[in-house]
Homo-oligomer: A and B are copies of this chain.
Amino acid sequence: MLESVSATAAVVQGASGSVMADHRTPLVRRCWYVAGRGDEFTRQLRERSLLGESVVLYRTEAGRPVVLQNRCPHRSFPLAKGSLEADAVRCGYHGLAFDSGGKCVDIPSQEVIPPRLAIRSYPAVERGPFVWVWMGDPADADPGLVPATPWLASQDWTYASNYVFLGANYVGLHENLLDLTHFTYLHPTTLGTPEYARAPFQVEAGSETVRISRLVPECDVPAIYRTTGMRGKMSRHTVSEFLTPALHHASAVLRDLEADGVYTVYISHFVTPADQDRTHYWFTFARDFQIADQAITEFTERSALHAFNEDVDALQEIARMHGSGPDAKREISLKSDQAGVAARRILRSLADREAGPA
């Protein structure tokens, strides 16, 4: 199943000589991003910042999720402070109403509605537990490109899930997710095992995706799996993939070296810039074993939240260091950064492409 997600990954290693993205690189807009959990789209208007734009989220009477520009084009009042009437949003200042396509359908003080009095309606698609939004040119929004996460809807799987707010740019998070060498130092109580940091790895970098895999032939069961049925010595095969600026996917396959058990875990990271310096970060932690055991799900969620908050703390500490000292912008990369550097080159290349010819 994982293969279907990363089928486009090629086997070019460390190819590009282009510059890496960092926290000042313009955000990539031509991409499907998670706008929120499906259950956040209700009959109550909800304001959110996505890629530096203020939007309002709601659900039509027929159940379709809607993402509209939050700023009323008349006098800039935030529509989320207005009200929902059937499928239209009515502004709380002068009462202008906009339908779910962004078209103005009522101006209380006049009969004629100028056609240009419209707001942006962002293409939105619901898939499993999430609603995805397209923040680029709507003409380019192809629902077929929304990433598939079938295991989140399958009866053979279950998952833990939660949200973390990151007070830093998204580039650092993507690099963090491709980097397995920090487990031992940043996550000693959840993910890190001493064998992990030095295990050999293999990186496959394509033009738009990056894949890093690592096999630890023999290790103890990591702490995060403590409440599962796993016991004794295991082999641990992990694959971590940067698929789009909005999505990072990881899998772990643990084989019991004494008994017959094989345990598969899919961890998905849904990364959506709120703006240049803040990031929404949803995750799912799915497994195909002991799926009825709610205690495992809860322990996994707590453990993952704990670990991901360690990442968030680290990335926010790093953001605090930006600009400190005369050479604060200089970073020196290591061999283990190969995958992260490849993803940052992709992010830079995508941003450059959107900026158009210089």
Contacts and interface: CB of A to CB of B under 8 A. Distances in A.
Given A70-B324, A317-B81, A325-B71, A331 B76 contact: yes
Interface residues of A, number: 55
Nearest to A185: B95
Contacts of A93: 182, 185-186, 314, 318
B197 A77 contact: no
A53 interface: yes
A344 to B, nearest CB: 11
Given A93-B186, A185-B94, A314-B92, A76 B322 contact: yes
A336 interface: yes
A321 interface: yes
A91 B334 contact: no
Which of A71, A75, A90, A181 has the most chain B CB within a 10 Å cutoff? A75
A318 B76 contact: yes
A155 interface: no
A54 B321 contact: yes
Interface in A72-91: 73-78, 81, 90-91
Given A71-B325, A76-B328, A331-B76, A336 B185 contact: no
Interface stretch (A11-19, A109-117, A282-290): A109-117
Copies in the assembly, this chain = 3
Contact of A107 (B52, B114, B334): B334
Nearest to A175: B75
Which of A69, A95, A182 has the most chain B CB within a 10 Å cutoff? A182
Contact of A328 (B71, B332, B335): B71
A326 B26 CA distance: 13
A184 B90 CA distance: 12
Contact of A321 (B78, B198, B317): B78
A330 interface: yes
Contacts of A353: none
A71 B324 contact: yes
B77 A314 contact: yes
A74 B54 CA distance: 35
Given A331-B75, A333-B74, A52 B185 contact: no
Interface in A209-247: none
Given A325-B52, A325-B53, A73 B331 contact: yes
B110 A320 contact: no
Which of A95, A116, A185, A322 has the most chain B CB within a 10 Å cutoff? A185
A182 B94 contact: yes
A184 B117 CA distance: 21
B324 A95 contact: no
20 contacts: A52-B324, A52-B325, A53-B325, A54-B321, A69-B325, A73-B331, A75-B318, A76-B322, A76-B328, A76-B331, A77-B317, A78-B317, A92-B186, A92-B314, A93-B185, A108-B181, A109-B181, A110-B335, A110-B336, A116-B332
Interface of A: 49, 52-54, 69-71, 73-78, 81, 90-95, 107-110, 114, 116-117, 120, 172, 175, 179, 181-182, 184-186, 197-198, 314, 317-318, 320-322, 324-326, 328, 330-336
The 6 closest A-B pairs by CB, nearest first: A109-B336, A54-B324, A109-B181, A53-B325, A95-B185, A76-B321
